[in-house]
Chain A
Amino acid sequence: MVMHAHAYPNIEIPTPSQIAAVALDNEPDENGEQSMILSMGPQHPSTHGVLRLAVELNGENVVQLAPDVGFLHTGIEKTIETKTYTKSIVLTDRMDYLAPMSNNMVYVAAIEKLMKQDVPERAQTLRVLLLEITRINSHLVWLGTHALDLAAMSVFFYAMREREYILDIFEMLTGARMMTSYFRVGGLAWDIPADFIPTVEDFLTHFLPKVDEYEDLLTNNLLWKQRTLGVGVVNAADAIALGLSGANLRASGVDWDLRKTMPYSGYETYQFDVPVGQNGDIYDRYRCRVQEMRESVKIARQAIERLKQMHGQPYITDNRKVAPPPKSEITYSMESLIHHFKLWTEGFRPPRGSAYMAIESPRGEIGCYVVSDGTPQPWRVHFRAPSFINLQALPHIAKGKLMADLVALIASIDPVLGEVDR
């Protein structure tokens, strides 16, 4: 058998201790030049959370760097093993706290895949609507903080203004502004309130012109272009090798969006385009994400049109072995009472086996690998966190760039440190 050679000699991902070893053996060269080790973070405003970068600098140029993560590790995957499947939904919110619905979705969808559980059409449509609003929500925070990192203050205020509207919608729907925990295996937790659809429609009408406003501020802004055009280029082959996903991958010219290529929750029935970049620089990642917000509005509008025709249809499956019966049924049906009791005391039991499910979160491919041993607690749950894997590309992208560009690069790959560390 032929062993395959090292295929990517240009990609190096050092560890923090390898950078620290440079500091120990740091003698000036014949020109008297000496590299400097800089510890950026863990408390640094532009690292978007508790991230430390060990950077080796030559003057202002980054020689190499290593992301040091784990400061926010809370053992979510370990904790899930001790809880029932339904109880763990609240834990998934706390990973990617800017896109809680996507995390809920991938977790419940993995269990549904394992159990071969169908979801009613109305619940699927509502999920699509919520996932797209979540995408807008997450991209708004990315856009605001990205612009703020490059010293454009106003965009941050505008983006937060629109995000507030989305958080109000989430609060109206679930009672929580960020940790929504709204998805359940087989559907959703409860029905939408009566004024939900008009409010979302209002928001979409209000929001779409605002995207043009953000673009007016940035797209042709000379300062913005100087900081982003041609900076942090990743070619398509490297992007795939580094496992980049989402807008980071598409900006490099790879047309891969799980909503189109491996559709879930009925995405194949919606009309939308997938924005793809060409150069793989920060500017293209910016253009892709901004365009994605417009496409999300498009999908959300189609979902709303369908929901108007589906009034009164169920929001969760009627399989009583998975979803609890409505409270009203409990008063006259002994069987419902038993189901209710069994579900809340013990939980449901998926069959033995494992399943991997991946969806397109705002940050890329978020995946969930569930192993069941037939008991009400999962044997193992692993999350493929897109931020964790995208962050890994940073040493490769930032190599040889200026220190000031590093700030722009972190923002452009859009990591959420809660998800990196889980």
Chain B
Amino acid sequence: MIDRATLEQRVSAQFPTVRIGDEAGDLCFTVERELLPALAGWLRDEPDLSFTFLNQLCGVDYLGREPRFEVVVHLTSFQNKMRVTLHIEVPEADPTIPTLALLFPTANFQERETYDMFGIIFTGHPGLERILMPEDWLGHPQRKDHPLGYEEVAFTHNEDWIYANKPFAKE
């Protein structure tokens, strides 16, 4: 069993550029995307760390912030009964990030979901396709600038415009 302080030291010795933080009591590493497979693989393969279980992988859209997207990964070590968080910032101009699906097969579906919902491209993924939305869906629905899709209420001042734009209301 290793404790939190030892893990912080080991990570900062091995990966000096990783920023170490705290997420509601869990240890949290902010890492450049190029380093992600190396860090995750190292955390998994070091015998005394063995963060072998990938809990979850998801995207977050911080619209208005630069870099806009963030991919969040949680890893658990059964041996140490410890969970760590990895935060990877992804800019909007180049929304790519190396895949974890080869190191952790469980990331396969979750990366597809993140691609589907946020349009983040996981390079090297064996089958990066939409998973929850229809194949021909336009856009990525969980981006903050994707409309929720409700119907606008018609008032006197805008009903002409609304009915003109509704394809089925023309008859």
Chain A residues near B (Cβ < 8 Å): 1-4, 6-8, 11-15, 17-18, 69-70, 73, 75, 77-79, 82, 113-114, 240-243, 254, 256, 261-262, 353-356, 358, 365, 367, 369, 371, 379-380, 382, 384, 388-389, 391-392, 396, 421-422
Contact = CB atoms under 8 A, between A and B. Distances in A.
A348 B110 CA distance: 31
Contacts of B53: 240, 243
B41 A77 contact: no
Contacts of A13: 105, 108-109, 126-127
Nearest 8 A/B pairs, CB to CB = A243-B106, A355-B24, A4-B41, A384-B56, A15-B127, A382-B58, A70-B132, A73-B132
B129 A17 contact: yes
Interface string B47-61: 000001111101011
A82 B127 CA distance: 32
Contacts of B131: 69-70
B74 to A, nearest CB: 5
B23 interface: yes
Contacts of B132: 69-70, 73, 421-422
B117 to A, nearest CB: 8
A389 B109 contact: yes
B7 interface: no
A1 B35 contact: yes
A82 B147 CA distance: 11
A392 B127 CA distance: 13
26 contacts: A1-B35, A6-B102, A8-B105, A12-B126, A15-B112, A15-B129, A17-B127, A17-B135, A69-B132, A70-B133, A70-B134, A78-B142, A241-B105, A242-B105, A242-B106, A243-B104, A243-B107, A261-B78, A355-B25, A356-B23, A367-B55, A369-B74, A380-B61, A389-B109, A389-B110, A392-B106
B72 interface: yes
A262 to B, nearest CB: 7
A349 B72 CA distance: 23
A114 B24 contact: yes
Contacts of B58: 369, 382
Nearest to B74: A356
Nearest to B53: A240
Given A242-B106, A356-B83, A382 B133 contact: no
Contacts of A114: 24
B81 interface: yes
B2 interface: no
Given A261-B81, A367-B74, A380-B60, A241 B106 contact: yes
Given A1-B38, A15-B129, A75-B141, A354 B56 contact: no
A256 B78 contact: yes
B106 A353 contact: no
Contact of A113 (B25, B45, B127): B25
Contacts of A242: 105-106
B37 interface: yes
Most buried by B among A14, A113, A254, A380: A380
A7 B23 contact: no
A228 B126 CA distance: 32
B139 to A, nearest CB: 12
B83 A262 contact: yes
Given A8-B102, A77-B117, 10 more contacts: A7-B103, A11-B105, A69-B132, A70-B131, A261-B78, A355-B25, A388-B113, A389-B109, A392-B106, A422-B132
B164 interface: no
Nearest to B62: A379
Contacts of A388: 109, 113
Contacts of B107: 243
Contacts of B130: 70
B126 A369 contact: no
A8 B129 CA distance: 21
A371 B108 CA distance: 23
Nearest to A115: B24
B148 interface: yes
B108 A2 contact: no
Nearest to A4: B41
Given A4-B38, A4-B41, A78-B141, A356 B55 contact: yes
B52 A392 contact: no
B26 interface: yes
Interface in B15-29: 23-26
A71 to B, nearest CB: 9
A386 B108 CA distance: 14
